Structure 1
Amino acid sequence: MSEAGATLAQIAEAAGVSIPTVSRVLNGKPGISAPKREEIERLLEDRGYARRKPRRGTPLIDFVISSLETQWATELLRGAQAEAARAGADLVLNATDGRPAGSPDWIERISARGTDGVVLVVSELEPQARRELSRLQVPVVAIDPIGSDTESFVTVSATDWVGGREATEHLLALGHRRIGFITGPITLECHQDRLDGYTSALGRAGIAADAALVRQGDSLIAGGQRFGGELLDLSDRPTAVISGSDEQAYGVYLAARERGLRIPEDLSVVGFDDVDLCRWVSPQLTTVRQPLSSMAAEATRLLLKLAAGEEVASPTVRLASKLIVRDSTAAPHS
């Protein structure tokens, strides 16, 4: 009986082999016995598996990102492009403007022209797009994934929990006890992990987390200005603020200056990412360096391996973050 729309994983399970083995059959790769190859070919035919349109020549990668408006996005794109060029692949850029990725038109274009895979950056796939990419045998590697619904993806991220903890411990060591935190979009695992690291560091120092000192932000300058202003208008305002992104941290700078507060004399500020902005602002911003370019390069490298039917060492890759201390943090006034 036909099972139209069967996924690559379902074919592999039925044949008792790994997904890369099925992929090798689809791509005509050697190293598989004739009987097993025939069995997999029969399963593909019987279950109506839609084969990806064969592509020849230069590999093609779809790089899907929610927005191109930030330096954070520029760093990621730079890393992906550098790795694609090194591997002799072409990169197609897709910006979703914050919407879930995978419109019917996009799926139709991929199906028509072919693609070797998708690097998905802090966005989410429409359910139909997820099914279609699986049916078309298109691998996906996600950078900074949303939530936990990524079991079918290889994921690349940074050690965000460690970064949140180290930023908080740095401020605690300076003597700060009322430390505010403005997250980025909290649906992203990376921002939840940073917040968890902050909470953990406070707890280890014997300081109870105060919900009044936490705001859920948007990673943008305007968000930092708005939510930073809310924190600084508290009757017992924080003496330090950690931001989920550098650009949002700059918004905190603006909010502080609007209120006549000096950085770091009256308020210490820590960012996340270490984009060029950190060295342009005055005072230069203390931040947690995220290896953004390396993360995108690694995601691109892993995607090309999956597209070639090769296995990857781990479905989850985390690259190390690092606290970079500059001039925006100091001991609080007594």
Structure 2
Amino acid sequence: MNTEKQKLYIVAEKQYSNTTWYNQVIEGIYKEAARRPLQVVLCSEAELYGLFPGTILVLLGSSLPFITQYLNLCTELELRPIVAGFEIFQSSLQVSYITINRRQAMSEIVKTLLSCGAHNIALLGVNSSIQTDMLRFDGWAAVVKAYKAGDPNKDVFYSDSGLLACVENFWKHYRNYDAVACANDYYAAYLCSEAGKRGIRIPYDLMITGFGNTRISQYTCPSLTTVALNLSSVGSQVIQLYRSLSKNTDLLSCTATLKSEILLRGSTKEIKKPLPGKAIFQEEIASAFEPTFERDLKSIYALENTLITMDETDRKIIDGLLQNEPYSFLAEKLYLSDSAFKYRLYKLFAATGCSGRADLTELFRQYIPLFTDNNSSVT
């Protein structure tokens, strides 16, 4: 009987690996792996080059540059990635992922504040350069717009310049609000502490909610109403996806979105009455696969995802189009049948959101004029 353990390879973003969220995810992975003949192996980037094509690799990180870098590497090395805890918006990517619906979670906690009697709700602590923070913004904005409880253009206090500047800016305007939803528990804990120093009574003068259900959220004064993200379940679901992908080599990718839970504590008032139902997220199905923030960057997001997924033949097609080579000449040069060439061409149009050759070449010339088949792999 073969008792040798299978190996689950993991790469973690250095900065992320020092966080509470990472610890919860990795704890869930180890706990579930211990129930099976499965060995968890933490890898460096250099060690990935020794893995066989088709090996499943788990990516743990919170920043877009990290995820993009390693998805590129997985494509280069023909590895099968599972992204844990990070939303993937491009439906054409063959990437497995498990995540929490942060947008929905924030919308639920804002609706909870409304049910507790809030009328004007600020959002505090989101960083405009962090994808998961902007998902929280999206959830908050959808609810306050639907219930006329805030203005997404005026009632957001960003953390781009740091905690102190963010909170100090809020105190200049806090009398405009009876509630504030914080992007995470740490900002909420700091805000509670500073409110006490200013004689502001929580929750009577100002209700505060956190996000993340960290240990500290239980011991603030008062304790924080917050969102429990259940990141340990993200870890255990990584193992389930690993097993599905291992057993089914024809399975290109799997996805799972886990629910969160609102924990009511002392930083909010008692719920007065349920909210009347409203359609909060009114968007086309197609937009579900792209960020709902920074719409002006839509073409650049699409271009980046195209660069991640294209192979050598796609690069040669793009290079030929940029050199104004006719379709028939390109197809013959690349030894592609007419139908195979058109299939690849239409896939490139779809991935970039372009309507035809002119749009596609203009997109590349506008944003990445140095792109050619010869230098497209340069980092």
TM-score category (smaller protein): 0.5 to 0.7
1:133 counterpart letter in structure 2: C
**Which residue matches 2:304?**
none
5+ residue gaps, structure 1, are 1-55, 95-105
1:64 aligns with 2:3: no
Give matches, 1:82-231, under 5 Å: 82-93=31-42, 106-112=44-50, 116-123=56-63, 124-125=65-66, 129-145=70-86, 148=89, 151-217=93-159, 223-224=162-163, 226-231=165-170
Q: 1:246 aligns with which of 176, 185, 188?
A: 185
Q: Residues 127 and 234 of structure 1: is their aligned pair in 2 closer, same or farther, counting only changes over 3 Å?
A: closer
Contact 2:87–2:97 at 8 Å: present in 1 too? no
Contact 1:223–1:248 at 8 Å: present in 2 too? no
RMSD: 3.0
Structure 1 residue matching 2:211: 3-state secondary structure: strand
Deviations 1:144-165 (A, max 9, x none): 3266357231121122222112
Give matches, 1:29-44, under 5 Å: none
Deviations 1:194-221 (A, max 9, x none): 2222122222223452433212337xxx
Q: Residues 264 and 126 of structure 1: is their aligned pair in 2 closer, same or farther, counting only changes over 3 Å?
A: closer
The Cα of 1:71 is off from its aligned counterpart by: 2.3
Q: Residues 57 and 206 of structure 1: is their aligned pair in 2 closer, same or farther, counting only changes over 3 Å?
A: closer
Q: Residues 92 and 314 of structure 1: is their aligned pair in 2 closer, same or farther, counting only changes over 3 Å?
A: closer
1:109 counterpart letter in structure 2: E
**Which residue matches 2:373?**
none
Partners of 2:67 and 2:174 lie apart in 1 by 44
Greater alpha carbon shift after TM alignment, 230-239 vs 318-327: 230-239
Partners of 2:261 and 2:5 lie apart in 1 by 40
Partners of 2:67 and 2:178 lie apart in 1 by 42
The Cα of 1:88 is off from its aligned counterpart by: 2.9
Deviations 1:201-260 (A, max 9, x none): 222223452433212337xxx955542332122264422111122222212223323433
Q: TM-score under structure 2 normalisation?
A: 0.60
1:273 aligns with 2:215: no
1:230 counterpart letter in structure 2: N
Partners of 1:321 and 1:128 lie apart in 2 by 29
Contact 1:268–1:329 at 8 Å: present in 2 too? yes
Q: Residues 186 and 156 of structure 1: is their aligned pair in 2 closer, same or farther, counting only changes over 3 Å?
A: farther
Q: Percent identity?
A: 22
**Which residue matches 1:23?**
none
Q: Residues 233 and 182 of structure 1: is their aligned pair in 2 closer, same or farther, counting only changes over 3 Å?
A: same
Structure 2 residue matching 1:168: 3-state secondary structure: helix
Contact 1:232–1:256 at 8 Å: present in 2 too? no
1:70 counterpart letter in structure 2: T
Greater alpha carbon shift after TM alignment, 114-123 vs 199-208: 114-123
Q: TM-score under structure 1 normalisation?
A: 0.67
Partners of 2:167 and 2:251 lie apart in 1 by 42
Contact 2:10–2:59 at 8 Å: present in 1 too? yes
5+ residue gaps, structure 2, are 271-379
Contact 1:229–1:255 at 8 Å: present in 2 too? no
Deviations 1:48-94 (A, max 9, x none): xxxxxxxx743132141442333222212211221222233233446
Q: Residues 137 and 306 of structure 1: is their aligned pair in 2 closer, same or farther, counting only changes over 3 Å?
A: farther
Q: Count residues with an aligned counterpart.
A: 262
**Which residue matches 1:76?**
25
Contact 2:56–2:82 at 8 Å: present in 1 too? no
Contact 2:224–2:266 at 8 Å: present in 1 too? yes
